[in-house]
A and B are shown apart, each in its own frame.
Chain A
Amino acid sequence: MIRNDVFKTLIPLISEHLVVCNIGAPSQELHALDDRASNFYMLGTMGLASSIGLGLAAAQDKPVVAIDGDGSVLTNLGTLATIGNNAQGNFTLLIIDNGSYGSTGDQPTYAGMNTDLAAVAKACGAETVLTVSAEDTAKAVEDAISSDQMTIIVSKCESGNVKVPVIKTNPIVIRERFMEEVRR
């Protein structure tokens, strides 16, 4: 299964929740599959989906799912220490770990080599960290959303993207409609 296949299994579970989605292919694929006001698409700034998600979870009570990638977490590795020291029970961080920089031509990341992001997350102080197969990801996300425990899920899937258009929605529209969902 590639990222897009994992997304298909996730959509019934996350479509009613606040989702912060990583830049590039992940946001574009989610947008093409199931564009929702409750999705915050990152159009720039690689690496900050987990930080935005944590800030959002700290600021209000609704469940927040941040969908990040292995390459993006590596570019902002300090985020795991911040998350590990500021646990928010309504926060789920899903790291789609396909061992590659999907948006830029599938170059390999260190997470696909010697680096174990789940072990890093644990060492950073996060209590509930799971490594799951692509097939088991939806169940893990469903459990994480319904639990009061902050959960970091590393979903091991295959490298690969599907051809989808770039997101042309105005960023202020994305932000405003997302904030309306937060307030709802």
Chain B
Amino acid sequence: MATGMDKQIVADLKAAGIDYITSVPCKQLAGVIEVLEDTPEIMHMPSNKEDEGMGLCAGAFMGGMKPAIVMQNTALGVVVNTLATLIQFYQIPLPMLISYRGEVGEPVACQVEMALHTKAILNQMHIPTYHFHKPEDAAELPGILEYCQMASKPVAILCDASFWRASA
């Protein structure tokens, strides 16, 4: 069941002109994806893997749309090459709404392993990174989305378990 926060996030994406979104699901993102499905102003084209999704986004961008990707942090282990040689090399603005699994509140031990690498990978790749820990942090989303377009860079928005729980 989508929460008010899920709706607010999608409304902010829409207001920022985001009109193409690809996603690979995560439990924490289920509500956002549900709202996306009910948002005709945003073309939602799910992908099977996040590097594929970034290819779709690059194409949509060159076709005149404003893309974004919805994904889990574990996928940062999948997309390093694509971020470097496609999104960054060709300077494509790409907001990445990322569920930050493996933080406090995480029930699955294995998720912690990629959580430990998440910010390190983003730092190593010089990707502007924002961490939503409390519901009020989401007030920054419109500014982050504008910043992403201005900078023509990928931008990571990490949303952890505490954020989702307190937003429910």
Binding site for B on A (CB under 8 A): 20, 40, 42-45, 47-60, 76, 78-79, 81-82, 86, 171-172, 174-175, 178-179, 182-183
Q: Which residues of B contact A179 (CB under 8 A)?
A: 62, 64
Q: Residue B65 at the A interface, CB < 8 A? A: yes
Say yes or no: A76 contacts B65, CB within 8 Å: no
Most B CB atoms within 10 A — which of A44, A57, A76? A44
> Do A52 and B58 contact each other (CB < 8 Å), given the known contacts A44-B85, A175-B90, A175-B91?
yes
- A76 in complex: contacting residue of B51, B58, B60, B62, CB < 8 Å: B51
Q: Which residues of B contact A183 (CB under 8 A)?
A: 64
Say yes or no: A48 contacts B86, CB within 8 Å: yes
Report how far A43 CA is from B88 CA in the complex, Å. 12
Say yes or no: A171 contacts B90, CB within 8 Å: yes
Q: Which residues of B contact A182 (CB under 8 A)?
A: 62-64
Q: Which residues of B contact A50 (CB under 8 A)?
A: 55
- A51 in complex: contacting residue of B20, B46, B52, B91, CB < 8 Å: B52
A-B contact pairs, 24 of them (CB 8 A): A20-B59, A44-B85, A47-B52, A47-B55, A48-B54, A48-B58, A48-B82, A49-B55, A51-B52, A52-B55, A53-B59, A54-B59, A55-B55, A55-B59, A55-B67, A58-B45, A60-B63, A76-B52, A171-B90, A171-B91, A175-B62, A175-B91, A178-B62, A182-B63
Q: Which residues of B contact A78 (CB under 8 A)?
A: 47-49, 52
Residues of chain B in range 52-101 having any CB-CB distance to chain A below 8 Å: 52-65, 67, 81-82, 84-86, 89-92
> In this complex, what residue of A is CB-closest to B57?
A55
Q: Residue B43 at the A interface, CB < 8 A? A: yes
Say yes or no: B62 contacts A40, CB within 8 Å: yes
Chain A nearest Cβ from B94, distance in angstroms: 12
Chain A nearest Cβ from B6, distance in angstroms: 24
Say yes or no: A45 contacts B55, CB within 8 Å: yes
- A43 in complex: contacting residue of B57, B59, B89, CB < 8 Å: B89
- B60 in complex: contacting residue of A40, A56, A79, A81, CB < 8 Å: A56
Q: Which residues of B contact A56 (CB under 8 A)?
A: 59-60, 62-63
Say yes or no: A43 contacts B47, CB within 8 Å: no
- A82 in complex: contacting residue of B48, B54, B81, CB < 8 Å: B48
Q: Which residues of A contact B57 (CB under 8 A)?
A: 55
Say yes or no: B82 contacts A45, CB within 8 Å: yes
Q: Which residues of B contact A20 (CB under 8 A)?
A: 59
- B52 in complex: contacting residue of A58, A79, A178, CB < 8 Å: A79
> In this complex, what residue of B is CB-closest to A172?
B91
Q: Which residues of A contact B59 (CB under 8 A)?
A: 20, 51-59
- A55 in complex: contacting residue of B20, B48, B51, CB < 8 Å: B20
- B56 in complex: contacting residue of A47, A60, A82, A174, CB < 8 Å: A82
